[in-house]
Amino acid sequence: MTDPFVVVGGDAAGLSAASKCRREHPDREVIVFERGRWVSYAHCGLPYYVKGEVDDLLSLTTLSPEEVDDRGIDLRREYEVTAVDTARRTVTVEGPDGVVEQSYGDLLLATGARAVAPVDGVDLEGAFTLHHMDSAAALRAFLSEPGTVDPATVGDDYTDESAVRPYAERAPPETAAIVGGGYVGVETAEALAAWDLEVHLFQRGDALLPPFGEAVSEVVADELRERGVHLHLGCEVKALDGDGTDRLSAIRHTDGETTAEAAVVGVGVRPNAELATEAGVETGANGAVAVDEYGRTSAPDVYAAGDCAVAEHVVTGRRTWVPLGLTANRAGRAVGATVAGDPTPTGGVAGTAVVKAFDQECGRTGILDHDRAREAGFDPVSETVTAGSRSGYYPGNADTTVTLCADRDTGRLLGGSVVGTDRAAVRIDTVATALTGGLTVDELERTDLAYAPPFSPVWDPVLVAAKVVSGSVA
């Protein structure tokens, strides 16, 4: 009898791996240790719960612990793995009954990432990072009228009641601040604005959503301003201020001070790689756990997948760190198959991402940043076009702005972005698929995309952009 497949972390990567392994190899013992109470939940859905568009916090989970059990997985919630001994092939686990050692045949580190909040005052009441179900539950309770949220029942018994209780009886905030203009910041702006607050968004740099490039940034900034969000671009937050109390009352920043009773800090995430590094497992880009194409780390039979691990970039071929939901699910599933005896590559990443900013749909994929393209050995050229989403005469036609970046010498497509109000986000998948296929912009220009007046003009905006970039490459 082989030792069990042990998984550290009960979210996307961990449970995908556990499920796949059990399905392929029903006799294999699979144990998942999760230090929290929540499992298999969708981070990406939190802004929509905060907004009120999704009403039930539990609906954000894909699997309940009972469903995980039904798959024959030994799920142990509130068990924290505190150490890995790769020589003895054991993990140390702290659980409700004390500390135990668990041996493993294969081990998956799926420890995820955590929000960083490098600013004073993030512990004040009223400040949130929105990287966890409990903080979303707390923020939603704060936004709601006093007495309408019962801390004991929101999210069943998964939610940490003590995180919600301070907000359940407080009057809702009248002003809120968002620190950071990445996708968490932009989605949170939409969520908070729905509650009829005065919303301020602070971004240290001059552009929102920097990885989406300039064209998207500008459209999104206009959209947020039109929706009444007060944008403070090029403005660095110095501290969250409680004016001597433990409650947030203001944001101190490079331009002065702004009153805020609520704040969401979303300035980035960092891989939870400490468990790996302390065990001597190698790390790579951004300090994430280094893995090969099968998710294998430097230690025998130890894998890593999801937000804590690197992945191969489809354009550069280099190991990179792009913590996103599909990557985690896919890599976890692949590790589960590999561990079950069917070696399966985890797949590359292109950094494909989509964000909704009120009515604007934004997408990006691949490499848009010219410095990064040059570092990877390319000679980048980008073009931006704005074209219709449908035939000009068809109702609902809307401006769609597409940027494509290509290598000047070879014409190879390197990346792209899309923004617009009419089905713009889904169009980024065309660009992402072209990256997987290694297409040149000429080849993309000649791709037989769909045309019908209600859905696309004769020349889809992506084709128009490819046509223009084609003129700029050799």
- Cα 350 to chain centroid distance, Å, stands at 14
Residue 430 touches a second copy, criterion: CB under 8 A:
yes
Give the integer Cα–Cα distance in Å for 45 and 125.
23
Residue 447 touches a second copy, criterion: CB under 8 A:
yes
Instruction: Mark 54-83 with x for binding to a second copy (rule: CB under 8 A) and - for no binding.
Output: x-x--xx-----------------------
Site for a second copy in 4-33 (CB under 8 A): 12
Residue 355 touches a second copy, criterion: CB under 8 A:
yes
In degrees rounded to 5, what are phi and psi of residue 67?
Answer: -65, -35
Q: Taking a C-beta distance cutoff of 8 angstroms, is the pair 198, 172 a contact?
A: no
Categorise residue 72: left if φ over 0, alpha if ψ from -120 to 50, beta otherwise. left
Nearest distance, CB of residue 241 and a second copy, angstroms: 33
Residue 456 touches a second copy, criterion: CB under 8 A:
yes
Which residue has 């990443």 as its token pair? 349
Nearest distance, CB of residue 20 and a second copy, angstroms: 11
Number of residues that bind a second copy (CB under 8 A): 70
Q: Which stretch binds a second copy (CB under 8 A): 125-133, 280-288, 300-308, 433-441?
A: 433-441
Give the integer Cα–Cα distance in Å for 396 and 454.
8
Which neighbouring-strand residues pair with 99? 94
Q: Which stretch binds a second copy (CB under 8 A): 120-128, 130-138, 145-153, 388-396?
A: 388-396
Give the integer Cα–Cα distance in Å for 103 and 81.
12
Nearest distance, CB of residue 42 and a second copy, angstroms: 6
The single residue among 399, 425, 468, 472 that binds a second copy, judged by CB under 8 A, is 425
Q: Which of 44, 308, 362, 405 is catalytic?
A: 44
Amino acid at 102: Q
Q: Which stretch binds a second copy (CB under 8 A): 124-132, 143-151, 174-182, 440-448?
A: 440-448
Give the integer Cα–Cα distance in Å for 329 and 326.
5
Q: Which stretch binds a second copy (CB under 8 A): 118-126, 157-165, 174-182, 452-460?
A: 452-460
Q: Which stretch binds a second copy (CB under 8 A): 39-47, 130-138, 237-245, 299-307?
A: 39-47
The percent helix, strand, coil of the chain (3-state, each to 5) is 30, 30, 40
Site for a second copy in 362-381 (CB under 8 A): 363, 365
Residue 393 touches a second copy, criterion: CB under 8 A:
yes
Site for a second copy in 328-347 (CB under 8 A): 329-330, 345, 347
Q: Taking a C-beta distance cutoff of 8 angstroms, is the pair 346, 309 a contact?
A: no
Q: Copy the structure tokens of residue 205.
A: 């740099």
Residues in the chain: 474
Neighbouring CB atoms inside 10 A of 220's CB total 24
The single residue among 53, 78, 101, 246 that binds a second copy, judged by CB under 8 A, is 53
The single residue among 17, 428, 441, 469 that binds a second copy, judged by CB under 8 A, is 428
Is the Cβ of residue 276 or residue 331 nearer to a second copy in the bound state?
331
In Å, the largest CA–CA distance within the chain is 70
Tell me, yes or no, if 44 is annotated catalytic: yes
Give the integer Cα–Cα distance in Å for 216 and 212.
6
Is the Cβ of residue 244 or residue 393 nearer to a second copy in the bound state?
393
Give the integer Cα–Cα distance in Å for 354 and 429.
10
Q: Taking a C-beta distance cutoff of 8 angstroms, is the pair 320, 352 a contact?
A: no
Which residue has 């007046």 as its token pair? 453
Nearest distance, CB of residue 450 and a second copy, angstroms: 4
Annotated catalytic residues are 44
Residues near a second copy, by CB under 8 A: 12, 42, 44-45, 48, 53-54, 56, 59-60, 314, 324-327, 329-330, 345, 347-356, 361, 363, 365, 391-395, 423, 425-430, 432-439, 443-456, 458-460, 462-463
